Amino acid sequence: MVVGVLCALASTLIWSGNFIIARGLNSLTPPVTLAFMRWTVACVAVSTFAIPALKREWPVLRANLGYMVVTSFLGVTVFNTLLYIAGRTTVTVNLALISTAFPIFIIMLARIFQKEPVSLRRVFGVTLAVFGITALVIRGDFMRLVNLTFAVGDVWMLFAAFLFAVYSILIRRKPAELGQTAFLGFTFYCGWVMIIPWMLWEQSHAVWPVMNFPVVGSVLYIGLCASLAAYFFWNKAVATIGPARAGFLYYSLPVFSGLEGWLILGEPVTLLHVGTGLCILTGIYLATK
């Protein structure tokens, strides 16, 4: 039990650093280029154990090629890239808090496409969480709803959370005969290939980042830690304490990101962040309990 809890917290702590990098490198590295470099490192690192699995399970992958391409596009190509795009115009705490909206979207999508029942408790939880997200996006000023003046980064992050929910619904449909290693390797490689045209388009009107220590260190962190180590710890946590408990521990992410944003980037943590964070986390707990 203790090992599982520590693994879940370790993966969440690693992922929280991804939001710090999204904000810290927003002026040093174009967002799509950053995503391209991240997954380049991850693909190289995963090759050692993924290539044999891909060769062994290629017939299964080929039979489910359409599913695998869509899953790779949402989970690797788009989701993380939108996170880096959002990081250019919003703060770390907002990124982390809004990212926790994806279970709400999962509940909605599961109801629509999988006919899962929605209890009164879930409705209340979703309502509370949506209230918290809305208050965060409009900075506590509800008069902004009249003019719909939302921060661009917050809207991108909310869209990314929705896409991650779609990705999570697709994960439930993973073929049982497909191993986790082959699945992970294919999504890494396929998602990376689909980033390349996007990156080339961005580079047509941007500048390749100066590969100094902050940039190289950050890319190695998100490529090796956030893309490999965090998945290892998360899988260990789920196997040890189950997905429900591990999932609940994931919601400690805004706490880690807020503290890191305050310590590393000097970003303020206001009462608005605390209040909306409590609304979001309480709502999600009630909705997913």
Identity of the residue numbered 108: M
Structural tokens at position 39: 């997954």
**In Å, what is the CA distance from 21 to each residue of 183, 201, 203, 223, 253?**
26, 22, 20, 12, 14
Q: What angle, 0 to 180 degrees and rounded to 10, lies between the N-to-C axes of helices 79-86 and 31-56?
A: 160
What pLDDT is attached to residue 256?
72
- How far, in Å, CA of 36 to CA of 44, rounded? 12
Instruction: Check: CB of residue 143 under 8 Å from CB of residue 203.
Output: no
- How far, in Å, CA of 269 to CA of 249, rounded? 21
Instruction: Give me the residue spans of the domains in the chain.
Output: 2-288
What pLDDT is attached to residue 289?
64
What lies within 8 Å, CB to CB, of 89 at 6+ separation is 151, 152, 153, 156
Within 13 A of 158's CA, how many CA atoms are on the CB side?
14
What digits encode the pLDDT tens for the residues 44-65? 999 988 999 999 999 999 999 9
Would you give the DSSP letter of residue 30?
-
Structural tokens at position 201: 């388009």
Instruction: Check: CB of residue 82 under 8 Å from CB of residue 156.
Output: yes
> Which stretches in the chain have pLDDT values below 70?
19, 92-93, 96, 100, 102-103, 114-116, 118, 137-139, 142-150, 235, 238-239, 242-255, 257-258, 260, 265, 287-289
Closest CA to 161 of 100, 112, 113: 100
Structural tokens at position 214: 């902050």
What pLDDT is attached to residue 114?
65
Q: pTM value?
A: 0.77
What pLDDT is attached to residue 93?
67
What pLDDT is attached to residue 265?
67
DSSP E strand boundaries for 192-259: none
DSSP line for 105-151? HHHHHHHHHH-----HHHHHHHHHHHHHHHHHHTTT-TTHHHHT---
